[in-house]
Amino acid sequence: MPDGLPAEIDLSRPSAARVYDYFLGGAHNFEIDRQLAEQIASMTPNLAATMRAGREFLRRAVRVLLDAGIDQFLDIGSGIPTVGNVHEVAQAANPEARIVYVDIDPVAVAHSRELLAGNERATAIRADLREPKLILELARSSGLIDFDRPVGILLAGVVHFIPDVDRPGDILAALRAAAVPGSFLVVSHSTFEDQPQEMLDAQRLSARTDTEITLRSRAEITGFFGDWTLLEPGVVHMPLWRPDSPADVDERPERFGAFGGVARYDHAG
């Protein structure tokens, strides 16, 4: 076991968080992760760009939330901290902003804690999205999130790791139920819609990690926002969600394989 890593990590299987870190150019990955990443990359040379597009979507969404006055963020499935993390974007705009990162992967959490050492307004906890009540409790007891005030709930690239049998709709409903009006929900999620066969094959390789991906339709992904009000332009291929500049939008935005959207809770009940 390499130094400084939690004993419970399984180095015999690739991990989604570490594969993702490798694609983003991070250093928090092992040979087993790099092998899977290279295999995926050889099938879909586009996938690293997809992951960066996901990160860019998240950054743009966080900026919109900051402009709306959100100063506390619950980022679930936050991954291994690489460049342009939520706390960096948020605290650059508002030094008082508070962030709780949540991930199921012990390596992601260990590295997040390392990176956040000395940052009193951000923390990382290890928990499973399939236990939303526990996540809410841990976020509350961290002292960083006050659910009596509007909160930004971020689920970027993570709900597709929840198979239908684990009832992702109920999980999202439990998270939404904890928030007061004025709160926001950000979701990005892989899809089979408009995808070429090689992308679908590459996604199937995720079955080799502990976290297999379930691709969903735009309608299913839209359902995760419940009765909250979708911000324009709705649930769209990620690069089409409020690009910084029209020049940033790829000729084929569907090639990034995921939809993104942001919604606001406008009314009680």
Ligand X SMILES: C[S@@+](CC[C@H](N)C(=O)[O-])C[C@H]1O[C@@H](n2cnc3c(N)ncnc32)[C@H](O)[C@@H]1O
Q: Which stretch binds ligand X (CB under 6 A): 88-96, 109-117, 124-132, 198-206?
A: 124-132
The interaxial angle of helices 31-43 and 47-67, nearest 10 deg, is 100
66 vs 86: CA distance, rounded Å: 11
Is beta strand 229-230 parallel, antiparallel or unpaired with respect to 122-126? Answer: unpaired
Q: How far is the CB of 212 from ligand X (least distance, A)?
A: 10
Instruction: Give CA separation, 5 vs 9, 108, 110, 158, in Å.
Output: 8, 10, 7, 23
Q: Of the two residues 33 and 103, which places its CB atom closer to ligand X in the complex?
A: 103
CB of 113 to ligand X, least distance (A): 14
Asked whether position 108 contacts ligand X by CB under 6 A, the answer is yes
Residue 224 touching ligand X (CB under 6 A): no
Q: How far apart, in whole angstroms, are the C-alpha atoms of residue 69 and residue 93? A: 11
Q: Binding to ligand X by residue 56, rule CB under 6 A?
A: no
Site string for ligand X, 157-186 (x = CB under 6 A): xx--x-------------------------
Binds ligand X by CB under 6 A, chosen from 91, 191, 211, 214: 211
Under the binding rule (CB under 6 A), the answer on residue 50 touching ligand X is no
CA dihedral 237, 132, 178, 122 (to 10 degrees): -80
Q: Interaction with ligand X in 70-99: which residues (CB under 6 A)?
A: 76-79
| Minimum distance, C-beta of residue 77 to ligand X, in the bound complex (Å) | 3
* Contact predicate 85/119, CB 8 Å: no
* 252: three-class secondary structure by DSSP: coil
Summarize as ranges the residues that interact with ligand X (CB under 6 A).
Answer: 16-17, 20, 54-55, 58, 76-79, 103-105, 108, 128-130, 156-158, 161, 211
